[in-house]
Each structure stands twice: as C-alpha cells, then as structure tokens.
Amino acid sequence: MKQIMPGLLSTAVLLALGASAQADDIELDPSTGLRMTVDWELVRNNCIACHSPKLITQQRGSKSHWLNVIRWMQAKQNLWQFDPDTEDRIISYLAENYPPQANRRRAAIAPDLMPPNPYAPPTHEAD
C-alpha cells in the first residue's frame, strides 16, 4: 500500500493538471496551475494568499471584469491596494490568459424541441 500511494498521487496530480490545461503550448505552473506567461509571478505573489488559485484559473473576463473583481475584494475581502503599474500588469495578465469566452454556456434549445408554452397568447385562426 505504502509503495503505490505516491504513484496514485502523482497520477491524480497529472490528471488534475491535464484537465485544466488549455489547447496551446503554454506551460502551467505545477503548484498553482497559472499559465506561465509574462507577469504570472506577480499574480502568484498577490493573488493566492487567501484562496485557491482555481478561483482565478476557472474565471474568465475582460480587463474591466477583472478590475471589478479586484475592486470587490478590496472593498469586501481585505485585499490590499496595488500601485497603478502593478495593478495594470495584473489585470493585463488576467485578461490575456483568462479572457472572456463566448461559448461557456450551452446553446439555447431549438424552439421545436421545447414543450408547448402554456402562457403563449391564444391563436384565433379557427374563428
């Protein structure tokens, strides 16, 4: 049992990393899962003290979305203030690596596959 545990653990870690990998060649930091592009260390150093990095890596948004998240944490969650240059680099990293995605929700169900709408206005074709 003792001998197989490390094997199982590393398999689980590899699976977890694989699941969050994206379809490009950018390396993920093994301990946080952050995409290792310009300024990723800045995000690691400022953004994972209070919560799992997964809160970041599973989120998507534009620069203004990420800025709103930061302002909310500063107002409600004791996140510290950044100097403007640091804040800009953090937001650029986030918006470039975790940008908005159009297809995060399933497509709408085709109208002919929907049940009849009981609130639809009555049709008077027969009158």
Distance of closest approach, residue 49 Cβ to ligand HEC, in angstroms: 5
Largest alpha-carbon pair distance within the chain? 81
The nearer residue to ligand HEC, 14 or 55, going by C-beta atoms, is 55
Which CB, 21 or 61, lies closer to ligand HEC?
Answer: 61
Question: Quick one: 13 or 51, whose CB is closer to ligand HEC?
Answer: 51
- Which residue do the tokens 């994206």 mark? 22
Least distance (Å) from ligand HEC to the CB of residue 37?
A: 15
Q: For residues 53 and 56, what is the distance between their CA atoms, to the nearest angstrom? A: 5
Query: What does 54-68 look like in DSSP terms, one character per residue?
Result: HHHHT----HHHHHH
Please report, as ranges, the residues that interact with ligand HEC according to CB under 6 A: 46-47, 49-51, 55-56, 59, 69-70, 73, 77-79, 90, 94
Q: How far is the C-alpha of 17 from the C-alpha of 40, rounded, in Å? A: 17
